[in-house]
């Protein structure tokens, strides 16, 4: 039977009431009434309190469910850390992003299991900077990895966590997965680049067609005049020196014709003859053509072309043209440099999957404002320049799946760098021909 002290008290009083004289009975009656009133009142208060508590609990449960739903619907990953950098909270979006359970992450100290090994140092540096209070008002980007090893890029914002007493207790970070956005940006950039490359090829095609058309005639004329003169010279007894000069003239005129035809063919059919070539040979050929001009201008040529350079996949004639163009630009750039200080460096170096060629001069270099437009069609600073040289060079190199760009030389002067892919097989074309 449950204990009921007020009930037992009342039973006792009723017994007394029945036994005593009527005054006592009246006193007892009054006491009973007061007791009943007090009991009733406290019963009411207790009921009200219970109701209030049930209501508060219900409100709390609703609030909790609301917060949980809100948290679960977030696609932004949230992660809180204490002042030492230990993880104190992660939401489900964060767990999904990195592929680890909340139980694994909470309580973890850095390095975190989702840090990318090759980016450890940078990630650690940013982590330390955040803990030291460095503000990143526009957020920062880091690369992480999921549990599966898949990489992703995240944009992160960190805000200080302040408790109810106004004390700084840690940091709350929000993580947005921007991998898809970055991929889209990259593909847009590549598309833009391809469009520009096509535009360059079209301009170049038009130029080359015009040039081939315009130059073919005078070049044929030069060849036939030279041959005619040579014949007459030989018939009239001859002059060995003049004959040599005229023969060279014919060879060069024919060569000019070949170059124009090749470039014309390239832009029309876009089928350069790609073979495995030794770059030092191509470079030496190009320098050979410039030797006389360089001597006349007092330019010292320094070539650093290692013999054991891997073969490149290229069209010899076209690459020779690129080197010639870059070197000729270099010679022209040094016109205002005092003789004795004019130098041209040509070097090549093997990199992982490509060969890098550098053409450097001791000229004034290119002004920062012009470095962007340098490769645009018709950009020239020369009174009689055509401004197509670098534009065509870039198209030719890009056609070879390489890159051509400008950098200011370390001390002073201009530096053009281009890359060519290594040839897949290491058989030079001259060996194949033999
Ligand atoms: N080595 C260099 N040093 C400084 N400026 C250069 C160099 N090479 C090219 N340039 C600049 O780039 C411009 C474009 O070169 P290019 O396309 O070959 O056309 P062009 O030689 O007909 O002017 C040149 O007019 C010059 O201003
Ligand atoms: Mg030029």
pLDDT greater than 60 at residue 2 = no
**Residues 423, 326 share a domain:** yes
CB of 402 sitting under 6 A from ligand 1:
no
Nearest CA to ligand 1 atom 27: 381
**Residues 258, 225 share a domain:** yes
Between 156 and 207, the more confident residue is 156
CB of 412 sitting under 6 A from ligand 1:
no
Between 205 and 244, the more confident residue is 244
Which one of 30-34, 41-45, 222-226, 341-345 scores highest in mean pLDDT?
341-345
Percent of residues, the chain, with pLDDT higher than 90: 55
423: in domain: yes
**Residues 362, 252 share a domain:** no
DSSP secondary structure, 74-118, as one string: --SEEEEEETTS-EEEE-HHHHHHHT--HHHHTTPPSSPTTB-GG
If you average pLDDT over residues 348-355, what whole number do you get? 95
359: in domain: yes
If you average pLDDT over residues 201-221, what whole number do you get? 78
184: in domain: no
Please, which pLDDT band fits residue 148 given cuts at 50, 70 and 90? very high
pLDDT tens sequence across 374-431: 998 788 999 878 788 898 899 889 889 999 999 999 888 999 999 999 998 645 555 4
What pLDDT, on the 0 to 100 scale, is given for residue 48? 93
The atom of ligand 1 lying closest to the CA of 325 is: 18
- Threshold 0.75, pTM exceeds: no
**Residues 13, 104 share a domain:** no
pLDDT greater than 70 at residue 201 = no
Ligand 2: centre distance to CA 387 (Å) = 6
**Total of domains in the chain:** 4
Least trusted range by pLDDT, from 56-60, 191-195, 305-309, 330-334: 191-195
Ligand 2: centre distance to CA 320 (Å) = 14
**Residues 280, 412 share a domain:** yes
CB of 408 sitting under 6 A from ligand 1:
no
- Nearest-5° Cα angle at 405, 403 to 407: 145
Nearest CA to ligand 1 atom 24: 380
C-alpha distances in angstroms, 157 versus 89, 146, 358? Answer: 16, 19, 42
If you average pLDDT over residues 158-177, what whole number do you get? 93
The atom of ligand 1 lying closest to the CA of 375 is: 17
**Residues 419, 315 share a domain:** yes
Ligand 2: centre distance to CA 361 (Å) = 14
Residue with token string 């909270």: 89
CB of 392 sitting under 6 A from ligand 1:
no
DSSP secondary structure, 279-337, as one string: HHHHHHHHHHHHHHHHHHHTPEEEEE--TTPPPEEE-HHHHHHHHHHHHHHHHHHTTTS
**Residues 344, 210 share a domain:** no
196: in domain: no
**Residues 380, 236 share a domain:** no
Q: 230: domain range?
A: 204-269
Residue with token string 């170059």: 259
Return the CATH number at 404: 3.30.565.10
**Residues 391, 278 share a domain:** yes
Ligand 1: centre distance to CA 432 (Å) = 37
What pLDDT, on the 0 to 100 scale, is given for residue 1? 45
Structural contact between residues 177 and 153, judged by C-beta atoms closer than 8 angstroms: yes
CA distance 343 to 251: 29
Ligand nearest to the CA of 373: 1
The atom of ligand 1 lying closest to the CA of 386 is: 22
């Amino acid at each position: 039977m449950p204990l009921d002290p007020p009930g037992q008290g009342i039973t006792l009083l009723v017994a007394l009431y029945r036994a005593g004289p009527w005054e006592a009975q009246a006193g007892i009656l009054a006491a009973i009434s007061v007791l009943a009133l007090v009991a009733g009142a406290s019963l009411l208060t207790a009921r009200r309190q219970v109701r209030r508590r049930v209501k508060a609990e219900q409100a709390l449960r609703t609030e909790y469910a609301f917060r949980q739903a809100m948290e679960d619907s977030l696609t932004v990953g949230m992660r809180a850390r204490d002042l030492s950098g230990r993880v104190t909270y992660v939401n489900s979006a964060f767990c999904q992003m990195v592929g680890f359970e909340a139980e694994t992450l909470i309580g973890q100290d850095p390095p975190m299991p989702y840090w990318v090994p090759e980016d450890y140092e940078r990630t650690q540096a940013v982590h330390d900077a955040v803990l030291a209070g460095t503000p990143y008002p526009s957020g920062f980007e880091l690369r992480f990895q999921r549990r599966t090893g898949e990489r992703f890029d995240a944009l992160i914002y960190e805000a200080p966590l302040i408790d109810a007493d106004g004390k700084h207790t840690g940091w709350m970070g929000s993580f947005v997965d921007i991998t898809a956005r970055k991929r889209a940006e990259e593909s847009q950039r590549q598309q833009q680049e391809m469009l520009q490359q096509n535009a360059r090829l079209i301009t170049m095609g038009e130029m080359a067609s015009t040039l081939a058309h315009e130059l073919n005639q005078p070049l044929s004329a030069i060849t036939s005049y030279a041959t005619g003169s040579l014949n007459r010279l030989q018939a009239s007894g001859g002059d060995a020196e003049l004959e040599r000069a005229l023969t060279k003239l014919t060879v060069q005129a024919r060569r000019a014709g070949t170059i124009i035809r090749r470039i014309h063919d390239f832009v029309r059919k876009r089928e350069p003859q790609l073979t495995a070539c030794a770059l030092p040979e191509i470079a030496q050929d190009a320098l050979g053509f410039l030797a006389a001009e360089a001597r006349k201008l007092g330019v010292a040529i320094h070539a650093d072309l290692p013999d054991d350079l891997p073969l490149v996949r290229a069209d010899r004639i076209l690459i020779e043209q690129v080197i010639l163009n870059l070197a000729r630009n270099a010679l022209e750039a040094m016109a205002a440099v005092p003789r004795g200080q004019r130098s041209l460096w040509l070097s090549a170096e093997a990199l992982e999957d490509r060969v890098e060629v550098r053409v450097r001069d001791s000229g004034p270099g290119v002004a920062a404002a012009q470095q962007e437009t340098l490769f645009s069609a018709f950009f020239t600073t020369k009174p009689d320049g055509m401004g197509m040289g670098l534009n065509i060079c870039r198209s030719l190199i890009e056609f070879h799946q390489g890159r051509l760009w400008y950098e200011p030389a370390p001390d002073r002067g201009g530096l053009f760098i281009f890359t060519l892919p290594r040839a897949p097989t290491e058989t030079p074309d001259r060996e194949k021909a033999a």
